[in-house]
Amino acid sequence: MDNLTASKICSKCRVDKTLAEFNKQAKSKDGHEYYCRPCKREYVASNKKRYSAYSQKWHAENAERKAKLQRAWVGANSQSKAEWQSKWKSDNAERVREYHNRRRALIAGTRAEVVDLGAVWEQSQAACYICCEIIDADLPHPDRMSKSLDHIIPLSRGGLHVAENLAYVHLICNQRKNARLLDL
């Protein structure tokens, strides 16, 4: 088949387009992505937009939480610093555990909806929506640039374990996002 005249159907807009209208992707069967260029751009942009809306909301909530914590700190000032710190640590450990438990429970609760991770990877089009850089699927975990499954709106914030809310990102980008979630 002649690559210049070959065409295929974009898996997003379902329009038959020439291969030249798809970004190159060495690892796919025909050497091109599944989404045509405009669909790919739209897909990455919409994930990014969803995340930034969520992120803004998170920042607002976080500011409130920080102010509360500051007030608590002033209140706790009569206690010794070491005492207060060790209390904070054990409170925090509990929160971390609870976060993971809730996450597991949430995934288990929505397991009826079986997510096709191959399709999610296809959708992600090898681009991390957090930093917009390419993801190399061959990098083994825990390489910081290896691929990692991410809930765009975190489960702990009401996001669902469904394909629509899943995307692949770099491990390091995922870890940074999760660290922010646990950060007071």
Contact positions vs Zn ion (CB under 5 A): 10, 12-13, 36, 39, 128, 130-131, 170, 173
Give the nearer residue to Zn ion in terms of CB position, either 106 or 174. 174
Work out how close the CB of 155 gets to Zn ion at its nearest, in angstroms, rounded to a whole number. Answer: 20
Tell me the CA end-to-end span of the chain in Å, nearest whole number. 57
Give the nearer residue to Zn ion in terms of CB position, either 21 or 110. 21
Give the nearer residue to Zn ion in terms of CB position, either 33 or 165. 33
Work out how close the CB of 148 gets to Zn ion at its nearest, in angstroms, rounded to a whole number. Answer: 9
Give the nearer residue to Zn ion in terms of CB position, either 8 or 12. 12
Work out how close the CB of 117 gets to Zn ion at its nearest, in angstroms, rounded to a whole number. Answer: 18
What is the secondary structure of 93-152 as a DSSP string? HHHHHHHHHHHHHHHHHTTTS---HHHHHHHHTTB-TTT--B--TTSPTT-TTSEEEEES
Give dist(CA 3, CA 5) in Å, integer.
Answer: 6
Work out how close the CB of 80 gets to Zn ion at its nearest, in angstroms, rounded to a whole number. Answer: 42
For the stretch 40-49, what's the b/e string if a residue is b when 16 or more beta carbons lie within 10 angstroms of its beta carbon? beebbeebbe
